[in-house]
Structure 1
Amino acid sequence: MKRVAVVDIGSNAVRGTVAEVLGSTAMRVIADERIRTRLASGLLATGRLAEDRIAASLDAVGHMVALASAHGATAVRAVATAAVRSADNGAEFIERVERETGVAVEVIDGRREAELALASAAANFDLSGRVCVADIGGGSLEVVLASDGSAETIVSLPLGAVTVTARFGSFADPPASHEIAQTRSAIRRELEDALGPSPRPARLAVCSGGTITSLVGAAAARTGASPLDVHGVTVPLGEIETVAAEVAALPIEERGSIPGIPPYRAETVLAGSLVMMELFDLLGTRTIAANRRGIREGLLLEMAGLSTPGDPA
C-alpha cells in the first residue's frame, strides 16, 4: 500500500507524519513525531529567523525526511507557515532546507492553513450546523466559520501562542490581573475586526494546535482520564476555563507541573489560552473538541486523494 509523509515547519516545532493509504477511503498514521525548534524565537524583535534556530530546524527537517524514508514513504511534502512567511530571511531559509535536506518546501498562507484544518476536522468530526474550526500555532491563528461543513468565513490572524507571548514583555510572572485584561482586550479587538463584533454563534469549536490539545488534556486529567489521548475528546467550555485560570495563576516554571500541560508549553500556553478564550466567548461556543491532527492530516488526505484543498468531504 502507498505511504505518504508530511513535514510541517512551524513557528515553535517541526512535525513529521507518515501515513499508509488504505484503499480509496481511508488512511492510517504509522509515525508521528515532533521536535521543538522555536524557529520564531526573536522574530518579532528582529524580523529575521535566528541562525541557531535555523540550524535546529534544519536538523529537525532532516530527521523527519529520514523518518519518512525509514517508513517507506513514496512521497514527501514539506510546508512552512507563519514564521517563515513573515521573516525577512524566510526565502533564504527555504533555500537552505531544500539544499541540505533535498526536500522542496511550500510556504503556505493562512487561508491554505485554514482550508487544510477544515479538511482534517471534516474527516474526524460531525460538522453539521454552525461550527468553528480553529488552528492555533506559534505564529498565527486560523479560524473557519462553517455551516454544515461548508466554509462561510476564513481568516488568519497573527495571534499564535508565540506571537502573543511576546506581547507580555515586562509583565509580571505570573501576569497581574490587569495585565491579563489588557492582553485579552487587544486580542478581542483583533478578533472582532476580523469576524465582526457579533458573529453568528457556533455550537462547537473543533480546534487543533498544541495550546488547545494541552488545555483539553489538562481538563481530562482533572477527571482521571489520560491527558495524552485527547484526539476527538469533547469537553464543556467551563472545564477549559478552569484550566486556563489555573495556568494564569502560576509562574512559567510551575505551569508544566499541571497534569496535561507539557513543560515545553509552559512559556506559551497562557497566551494561547487567552486567544482561545476570547474566540470562544465572541462566538458563544460552549463545547470544545480537540483535533490532534490539523493541517498535517489535511495535507495527507490531499496526497492520498481523499480530499482536495477547501473540500470538507
Structure 2
Amino acid sequence: MFNYVVIDLGSNSVRLRITNVDDDQNLNCTHQVKEYVRLSENMGEEKTLKEEPIKRTLTALKKFKQIYSTLPNIKINALATAAVRQAVNQKEFLKRVKKEIGLDFEVISGEREAYLDFLGVTNTLNISECLIMDTGGASTELILVKNKQVQNLISLPFGSVTLSSQFHLHDKITAGSLFSAMSYAEQEITNIDWLTMAHKIPLVGLGGSNRTLAKITRRAENQGQSTLPNLHGYRLNHEDAFDIMSKLVDLSRTEREKIPGLAKSRSDVVVGGLIPIMLILRSLHIDEIIFSNHGLREGSLYDYLQKNTKI
C-alpha cells in the first residue's frame, strides 16, 4: 500500500490529488484540493514570475504539505507546467520552493503535459477516437487520438490567463479586443496541419475554463436540485456552448460573477479561456463536447502504475 501524491502547478491554480493504492492495486482518491494562485499574473513579455504570485503559491504549497506529510508511505510527483516552463527566473523559483517547502518540482514540456492528459482521459473514458483539448492558464494542449493511441499532439503557448491579459478581456470586452484575441488564437490553431484529421470527431474538453461550460449548463438544467450530473463524461452540444460564450462576452466581470456554475475566481479569465475551444468547434465542425474531470494528475498516476506495477 502507498499514497501517490500529485501536485500540479499551473498558471492559474495549483492542485493536489492523493490516491491510495492498496496491495491489490485498487485505487481510492482520498484528497483533492485546489488553490487559485495566478502564478503567471503580470509575467508580461519578459516572462518573469512576480513576488506576490510566488508568495501565494508558496502559501498554497505549505497547506498541501500539511496534508500529505501526515500520510504513510507517500510517493510525490510534483509537476510544473506553462508558467514555470516559460519563466526566465525558473531556477530561482524552484530553488526557493525547495528551500521553503522541500519539494523538487519537475518542469514538464508541453508535449509531456499533453501525453499525461491523454493517459488521464483514455484510462477513464470509454473512447477510442477523439481530439483532447486542455486549456490551461498559459498553454493549450491538443491531442489527436486514434484507436486509443496518440496520433499527434501539440502544446500552444497561450491559455485563459495569457489571452485575457494580452487582449484586455478581464472586464467589459470591446468588439475590437475580442476580434484581436480570436484572430491571434485562430492563426496559431489553423497552422496545425494535422488538425484536419480531427474533422467532426468527438472533442474531449479539459481545463477549468472548458469545464465551466458544463458547470453552467448543469446548474441551469438542474435548478433547485441538491445533486448534479457527474461532470466526467458530461456532454454538451456545440450550439449550447456558442450560446454561453455569446452571453459571457456581453457581460462585465461583476455580471459574470453572478452566473451559477461560474467560479468568481475565474470570471476575469473565462472568456479568454473559452476562445480556443470555440475556434476548434467552429473550424472542425464538431457537434459535441465530452467533458473530462481527469487529465494530467490522473495521467501521472497511470503513468507511474504502468512503469512500476503490474496494473
Q: Structure 1 residues 202 and 152, CA, compared in 2 at 3 Å: closer, same or farther? A: farther
Q: Superposed, which structure 2 residues align to 1:37-116 within 5 Å?
A: 37-72=37-72, 74-116=74-116
The answer to whether structure 1 residue 168 and structure 2 residue 159 are counterparts is: no
**Residue-by-residue CA offset, 1:158-202 (whole Å, 9 max, x unaligned):** 121111111223x69422334323321221110011245744414
What RMSD over aligned residues (CA atoms) do the two structures have, in Å?
2.2
Task: Give the Cα separation in 2 of the matches to 1:163 and 1:244.
Answer: 18
**2:222 counterpart residue number:** 224
| Cα distance, 1:113 vs structure 2 | 0.3
1:137 and 1:161 in contact (8 A); partners too = yes
The answer to whether structure 1 residue 118 and structure 2 residue 113 are counterparts is: no
Q: Structure 1 residues 231 and 52, CA, compared in 2 at 3 Å: closer, same or farther? A: same
- More displaced 10-residue stretch of structure 1: 178-187 or 9-18: 178-187
Q: Structure 1 residues 74 and 52, CA, compared in 2 at 3 Å: closer, same or farther? A: same
Q: Structure 1 residues 197 and 146, CA, compared in 2 at 3 Å: closer, same or farther? A: closer
Q: Which runs of 4+ in 1 moved over 4 A?
A: 22-26, 225-229
Provide the aligned length of Structure 1 versus Structure 2.
Answer: 306
1:114 and 1:156 in contact (8 A); partners too = yes
The answer to whether structure 1 residue 283 and structure 2 residue 281 are counterparts is: no
Q: Structure 1 residues 24 and 207, CA, compared in 2 at 3 Å: closer, same or farther? A: farther
Unaligned runs of 5+ in 2: none
2:214 and 2:291 in contact (8 A); partners too = yes
Task: Give the Cα separation in 2 of the matches to 1:24 and 1:34.
Answer: 29
Task: Give the Cα separation in 2 of the matches to 1:57 and 1:298.
Answer: 23
Task: Give the Cα separation in 2 of the matches to 1:301 and 1:68.
Answer: 20
Q: Structure 1 residues 104 and 228, CA, compared in 2 at 3 Å: closer, same or farther? A: farther
Counterpart amino acid of residue 255 in structure 1: R
Q: Structure 1 residues 162 and 150, CA, compared in 2 at 3 Å: closer, same or farther? A: same
Q: Superposed, which structure 2 residues align to 1:137-216 within 5 Å?
A: 137-169=136-168, 173-195=171-193, 198-216=196-214
**Residue-by-residue CA offset, 1:101-154 (whole Å, 9 max, x unaligned):** 11211000100000000000001212223x101111101000001112111111
**1:17 counterpart residue number:** 17
**2:250 counterpart residue number:** 249
Unaligned runs of 5+ in 1: none
Counterpart amino acid of residue 94 in structure 1: L
Task: Give the Cα separation in 2 of the matches to 1:172 and 1:30.
Answer: 35
The DSSP-based 3-state class of the residue aligned with 2:199 is: coil
The DSSP-based 3-state class of the residue aligned with 1:112 is: helix
The DSSP-based 3-state class of the residue aligned with 2:44 is: helix
The DSSP-based 3-state class of the residue aligned with 1:113 is: helix
The DSSP-based 3-state class of the residue aligned with 1:275 is: helix
The DSSP-based 3-state class of the residue aligned with 1:44 is: coil
Task: Give the Cα separation in 1 of the matches to 2:228 and 2:138.
Answer: 25
**1:29 counterpart residue number:** 29
- More displaced 10-residue stretch of structure 1: 29-38 or 194-203: 194-203
Task: Give the Cα separation in 1 of the matches to 2:261 and 2:291.
Answer: 13
Q: Structure 1 residues 73 and 138, CA, compared in 2 at 3 Å: closer, same or farther? A: farther
Task: Give the Cα separation in 2 of the matches to 1:172 and 1:74.
Answer: 40
The DSSP-based 3-state class of the residue aligned with 2:34 is: strand
1:124 and 1:232 in contact (8 A); partners too = no
2:132 and 2:142 in contact (8 A); partners too = yes
Identity %: 26
Taking structure 2 as the reference length, the TM-score comes to 0.91
| Cα distance, 1:291 vs structure 2 | 1.4
| Cα distance, 1:266 vs structure 2 | 0.3
